[in-house]
Structure 1
Amino acid sequence: MNLSHRLTYADVNDLIQQDVDFKSVTQIEQSIERFVQWYRDYYEIPTTTDI
């Protein structure tokens, strides 16, 4: 098994909070859902329930 290209995900929340005094109060899942809804609304893309 070649492990040289394995994906890793760093948890940088503490570093961001320390460096720029920012702490997110929204979970990533909710943020993505909101972004997708905004994108569909902005570009007038119907959802599957609108078709």
Structure 2
Amino acid sequence: MAEPAAVPFAPTDDDPAQRHRRDLLAALLVERFTPYQPPPAADRSRKGAA
């Protein structure tokens, strides 16, 4: 009992499913909170001309 108790919500990389779930959540958060980047003006003008 000399070791401190494990933190229940600490990320663990030993479980592949848990790592995959965490990576999916991170990607979802990045996609959700990244501001919208409009396409470059060259692509817009080419699409309009076609």
TM-score strictly above 0.5: no
Greater share of residues in helix:
2
Q: TM-score, normalised by structure 1?
A: 0.38
Rg larger for: 2
Q: TM-score, normalised by structure 2?
A: 0.38
